[in-house]
Structure 1
Amino acid sequence: MDSRVVLVTGAGGFTGQHACRRLAEKGYQVAAIVRTRAVLASLKPLDGVDYYVCDLNQPVRVNEIVQITSPQYVLHLAGKNSVPESWANPLLYMESNIMATIHLLNALRQYEDTAILIAGSRLKFDLRIPVEPTHPYGLSKSIQEAVALAWGKLFHQNVILAEPGNLIGPGPSTGICSLLAGYIAAMERGESRPPFRLSSASAKRDFLDVRDAVDAYELLLRHGKAGEVYPVCSGFERRLGEVCDSFVNMARVQCPLEVEERDEYAGMPAAAIIQPDALREMGWSPTIPWEASVSDILRFFRREGVDRI
């Protein structure tokens, strides 16, 4: 049990809600930041969690919350994470993922002993010239990671980076598993829907239950090394076709699928599967089986409906 304060940004998001609940269960006093009062109104109160409304691009308010809470730990989950949306509004992604991170780190400069864990992205790319960006989201996360590590070095802050895989689990999310579960739940309620479209059945992804990821984040806050980047993943990749099969096999009705096979990596050598070796050395390993994650996601959408996506 730990009575110290952990500040969680993005507390109204998919991972943020799980993080607040899990950290409070572990005995932390959680100071949870949500962006708007509308988000706050949508959340159920949790014992051990105090909520604060704050846009991280308002530095005066960020400084105020940091002064009020004096956190020993910071879990920075806030940001934007949709590749298509990043093409439509790239400036929003630069502000949300880069500037918001800088405002938070700057507010924490006097707290040199505070452990700051920033959730990066495996969709980052190499910033060395010539720069070859993939999309504005990847650009924003690449710069976010570089700035965070540099800022920590310049101002002697304990900044740690985590690069999560595809996080899944019960709750509102726009990942493929939640989209599938929402589709199945709608079909089971008798709604008429066109076939679920899958861009590729052969593409592989690393999936990790968000509850296991939160446990990894908590471990990194306590034992992670400043300036290090830690993969947070299962170390195992599944074909998207297998993912669909897992959900469809648990469906109570027929759920038609359409697959548009687009192998963008045909002819290229297979990328190495990322392994969470550093976390394993700390004693962490995933505890929630794939089948349990699938069942929990379906249960959530059967109970809450697709409007929770």
Structure 2
Amino acid sequence: MVKHLLTGANGFVGKTMQAALPCVPLPVGLDLRDRAALNAAIAEIQPDMVIHLAAQSFVPASFENPHETFDINFYGTLNLLEALQSNAFKGRMLFVGSGDTYGRVPEDALPVREEHPLHPRNPYAVSKVAAEALCYQWSQTSGFEIVMARPFNHIGPGQSPRFAITDFARQVTEIRLGQRPPVLQVGDIDVTRDFTDVRDVERAYALLLEKGRNGGVYNVCSGREHSIRELLQRLIALAGVVVRIDQIPARLRPAEQRRMVASFEALHRDTGWQPLIPIEQSLQDLLNDWEKQLQ
């Protein structure tokens, strides 16, 4: 059986990967910044494939502590690459970057494709650009292959309520269960984003690991544009509640990108992947997940 090493196993996508693939996570508490411990873990596991998800991925935290973000996202990736090489790894690695690396994309350049210039606008995105470039270099000069993914927004059961759609699903469920007044607190909901179900994302990663081109970079996205307001209204309708929507100044952040949608043409061409789970199902599963947690 192929042994998949998974970093970031306790994150949103990591938990979904573990449910779908036989994965071996890094030991609990192991920090990618600890080179000796990482090297020992790789020597013990001897993986055939690697899915590298571990990262500091919260953008506000990257502004608060850019050094830590770089230490984890760039130097942590370098430490992983060196540990794999020193243990004679000959398999394939998937590096998971971010669609945030494109930065501000003009509307006439949508849907954004992989050849679009990278203009990162926060320390998190910069760290991912740097780590992706590092992985490309290693894909060309080391003894193993690396494929890079640039995922866009994803949603599904188990996501942290730090993210807008999941937070709305929690609020709507609390209202339906009578745990809060019928008032939804929101920020800027008149922007559009490209959402993919986390289970489709997991499937894309597995296919990229198997079929992606060495040194290739792939958008992982739905290719569909949804406004936050539209998805909020769908959640309200699915839950069968009547609510008032209150825009809270504290939740308003200047959204530099009013519209976003990307192309998964390269991913489809090389792996045959396409999204299968409709947004309605993702939203319903989110509501079901919150109902279990809140009852």
Q: TM-score, normalised by structure 2?
A: 0.85
Aligned length in residues? 273
Q: Give the superposition deviation at 1:239.
A: 1.2
Q: Partners of 1:81 and 1:150 in 2: how far apart?
A: 23
**1:152 equivalent in structure 2:** 139
**2:188 equivalent in structure 1:** 199
User: 3-state SS of the aligned residue for 1:249?
Assistant: helix
Structural RMSD (CA): 2.4
User: 3-state SS of the aligned residue for 1:162?
Assistant: strand
Cα displacement string for residues 106-138 of structure 1 (whole angstroms, at most 9, x for unaligned residues) = 111154531100110111158xxxx96511111
Q: Partners of 1:177 and 1:214 in 2: how far apart?
A: 19
Q: Partners of 2:55 and 2:220 in 1: how far apart?
A: 18
Q: TM-score, normalised by structure 1?
A: 0.81
Q: Does 1:124 align with 2:101?
A: yes
Q: Could you say if the C-alpha distance between residues 261 and 220 of structure 1 is closer, same or farther in structure 2, counting changes exceeding 3 Å?
A: closer
**1:211 equivalent in structure 2:** 199
User: 3-state SS of the aligned residue for 2:25?
Assistant: strand
Q: Give the superposition deviation at 1:157.
A: 2.9
Q: Could you say if the C-alpha distance between residues 73 and 85 of structure 1 is closer, same or farther in structure 2, counting changes exceeding 3 Å?
A: same
User: 3-state SS of the aligned residue for 1:4?
Assistant: coil
**1:51 equivalent in structure 2:** none
Q: Could you say if the C-alpha distance between residues 261 and 33 of structure 1 is closer, same or farther in structure 2, counting changes exceeding 3 Å?
A: closer
Which residue, out of 73, 94, 97, partners 2:70?
A: 94
Gaps of 5+ in 2: 104-117
Q: Partners of 1:237 and 1:224 in 2: how far apart?
A: 25
Aligned AA (1:147) = L
Which residue, out of 27, 31, 34, partners 2:24?
A: 31
Conserved in 2, the CA contact under 8 Å of 1:10 and 1:34?
no
**2:14 equivalent in structure 1:** 16
Q: Partners of 2:255 and 2:96 in 1: how far apart?
A: 29
Q: Partners of 1:111 and 1:226 in 2: how far apart?
A: 18
**1:7 equivalent in structure 2:** 5
**1:62 equivalent in structure 2:** 38
User: 3-state SS of the aligned residue for 2:172?
Assistant: helix
**1:287 equivalent in structure 2:** 276
Q: Give the superposition deviation at 1:144.
A: 1.5
Q: Give the superposition deviation at 1:140.
A: 1.4
Conserved in 1, the CA contact under 8 Å of 2:101 and 2:119?
no
Aligned AA (2:205) = Y
Conserved in 1, the CA contact under 8 Å of 2:94 and 2:146?
yes
Identity over the aligned pairs, expressed in percent? 31
Q: Per chain length, whose mean CA-contact separation is higher, i.e. which structure has more relative contact order (CA < 8 Å, sep 6+)?
A: 2
Q: Give the superposition deviation at 1:298.
A: 0.7
Q: Partners of 2:93 and 2:217 in 1: how far apart?
A: 12
Aligned AA (1:74) = V
Q: Partners of 1:83 and 1:69 in 2: how far apart?
A: 32
Aligned AA (1:94) = F
Gaps of 5+ in 1: 25-29, 37-53
Which residue, out of 93, 105, 114, partners 2:81?
A: 105
User: 3-state SS of the aligned residue for 2:193?
Assistant: strand
Q: Partners of 2:140 and 2:26 in 1: how far apart?
A: 25
Q: Could you say if the C-alpha distance between residues 261 and 104 of structure 1 is closer, same or farther in structure 2, counting changes exceeding 3 Å?
A: closer
**2:223 equivalent in structure 1:** 235
User: 3-state SS of the aligned residue for 1:187?
Assistant: helix
**1:188 equivalent in structure 2:** 176
**2:113 equivalent in structure 1:** none
Which residue, out of 232, 245, 249, partners 1:257?
A: 245
Aligned AA (2:239) = A
User: 3-state SS of the aligned residue for 2:99?
Assistant: coil
Q: Partners of 1:228 and 1:178 in 2: how far apart?
A: 31
Cα displacement string for residues 153-195 of structure 1 (whole angstroms, at most 9, x for unaligned residues) = 2324311100111111101323222111111122233333663
Conserved in 2, the CA contact under 8 Å of 1:200 and 1:240?
yes
